[in-house]
Structure 1
């Protein structure tokens, strides 16, 4: 609504899906808009992270806006559903070789020329690093599946490790930084959609 020159709620063609246009109003500039930086300094946001992490000494990274499409008249305009892990679980729990591989990739990130670097630093993590969490803050109400929003598999944190080892026995089966589940995977039948009020925040590790 505040970006009529780049995003038109009535024009699905303006709802770009590429990463470089995933933010609002467009491109990587959305990562550093003053309103986003103010949100990261909000006392409630900081208090939530401090409670979860057990310390108020926080190191923050930058991510992006998520633009959820309004309920469309055509299925092609729906926000894509994406069930994934923002890490490679084998590398996260891996040995020193896995840790070295992650540190090597992080050392090669080029923030001035590649907007994916800000995503990579969030996802390329190892258990030996400091505790790491992610969060989503809803700026508008998400009250229907058609509007997109966060989805999850309840209880998956208890069985995910054994499931991954059975389904993908080799770390090479999964690329670094992210693992996406095929839409044919039976886990999709267990997915639940979260409806959230504006101002709500979800935190996960």
Structure 2
């Protein structure tokens, strides 16, 4: 599928998401200022310069990568390009165990909301009377059977995953070391996130066969609000502080989505903190397999981009923490795929515009999303979070938290 056709496919959805159901013009009035939204004009948006992804000298199918002990090299690369690939954070055995657990998660319908608190007696009875069609890993013809929600984005459902190998990966010392190096601190809290999979859209030995139904959406976005985060305008700064305080007060962890929300409100650039996101690949992931893409070096230019469209997109999307790049913005066609080997992890600066490109191969893409944030304690939010995490960790069969894991999960203090 060409980029032009991707633009057409998302245009209607993009307009709905960005403009909402009301007028395209609105007022930003926080009691002290009122700003009228202006129409979005792509020709006036700051053009972020393109930088090509450096490739691995030993195998140019993949992005340049480092080992977790190359702290100086990976830090310098991260500062310049806004992302870095760390290889061999998982062993071959850990990759196999992660893939097996991902399939077990699908086959057992672990993505169902009822799995969070357990099915009711009525639901159990209904399953016995009319067993649901199940996904089976060895039979692609079943991969349409009740596929998880968010499949269009390559994410396996809405729920954070608390299972043995997924939790092992979250307390992996190499993964922790890489995050600690880039965030320049030891006291971290690991996010309890989700799994991802792109089903293969091509059939081996049948080059003309394409399963369009399994194509995921082309996406480019920020998991923060660029205007609230980077601009000095008083109206955005006041709104950022207010929104962050309100969001934090809402995180009770009674709902599983709170684990997904917790790392989207990161304050403003004036705080001086480093905010990152990441994902771990379980299988080799080449360009045509689809998956993670990024606008290289975007973190150096996000503030200029945001300033150039603050009176249009900035006003319109002031309350969002996930901001999609408009399909008419020149930036929309600029991201590049970050291809990685199995067992590799990519970490990116949260100021980077990123997203995913659809699969165009006979290979699936399988991954685990992972974030960290500065550890905190002594608040009702921290206590609520720890209580739920402790309960879910205890329910994970065969898993035992290490001393490092207990600290990363927020179950023990950093000394």
| TM-score band, normalised by shorter chain | 0.7 to 0.9
Q: CA deviation at 1:160?
A: 2.2
**For the residues of structure 2 that align with 1:183 and 1:17, how far apart are their CA atoms?**
24
After superposition, the CA RMSD in angstroms is 2.5
Match of 1:46 among 176, 183, 189: 176
User: How many pairs does the alignment contain?
Assistant: 199
Q: Are positions 1:89 and 2:226 aligned together?
A: yes
Cα deviation 1:118-144 (Å, max 9, x = unaligned): 221111111338532111111111113
8 Å CA contact 1:69, 1:148 repeated in 2: no
Q: Distance in 1 between matches of 2:273 and 2:302?
A: 22
CA distance in 2, matches of 1:41, 1:50: 13
For 2:219 and 2:334, the matched residues in 1 are separated by 14
1:139 matched to which residue of 2?
Answer: 282
Matched-pair contact (CA < 8 Å) for 1:124–1:176 = no
> How far 1:59 sits from its partner (Å)?
1.9
Tell whether the 8 Å contact from 2:158 to 2:257 is kept in structure 1 after alignment: no
Larger Rg: 2
Change (3 A) 1:161 1:80: same
| 2:320 counterpart of 1:189 | no
Unaligned runs of 5+ in 1: none
Q: 1:59 to 1:5 in 2, by over 3 A?
A: closer
Q: 1:130 to 1:186 in 2, by over 3 A?
A: closer
Q: Counterpart in 2 of 1:66?
A: 196
State the TM-score, normalized to the length of structure 2.
Answer: 0.44
Alpha-carbon distance, 1:56 to partner: 1.5
Question: Alpha-carbon deviation of 1:158?
Answer: 2.2
Structure ranking higher in strand proportion: 2
Q: Tell me, yes or no, if the aligned pair for 1:86 and 1:177 is still in contact at 8 Å.
A: yes
Structure 2 unpaired stretches of 5+: 1-99, 110-134, 203-209, 231-235, 350-415
Q: 1:203 to 1:149 in 2, by over 3 A?
A: same
Q: Please say if residues 158 and 194 of structure 2, whose CA atoms lie closer than 8 Å, have aligned partners that are also in contact.
A: no
Distance of aligned partners of 1:138 and 1:64 in 2 relative to their CA distance in 1, 3 Å threshold: same
The CA distance in 1 between the partners of 2:273 and 2:297, in whole Å, is 24
Q: What is the correspondence of 1:41-190 to structure 2 with a 5 Å cutoff?
A: 41-72=171-202, 73-93=210-230, 94-113=236-255, 115-127=256-268, 128=271, 130-145=273-288, 147-169=289-311, 171-174=314-317, 175-190=319-334
Residue 81 of structure 1 contacts residue 148 of structure 1 at CA under 8 Å; is this kept in 2?
Answer: no
SS in 2 for 1:35: helix
Q: Is the 8 A contact 1:85 1:180 kept in 2?
A: yes
Q: Tell me how far apart the structure 2 counterparts of residues 87 and 39 of structure 1 sit (CA, whole Å).
A: 25
Between the aligned partners of 2:336 and 2:197, the Cα distance in structure 1 is: 20
In 2, Cα distance between equivalents of 1:157 and 1:131: 11
Distance 1:81 1:131 in 2: 27
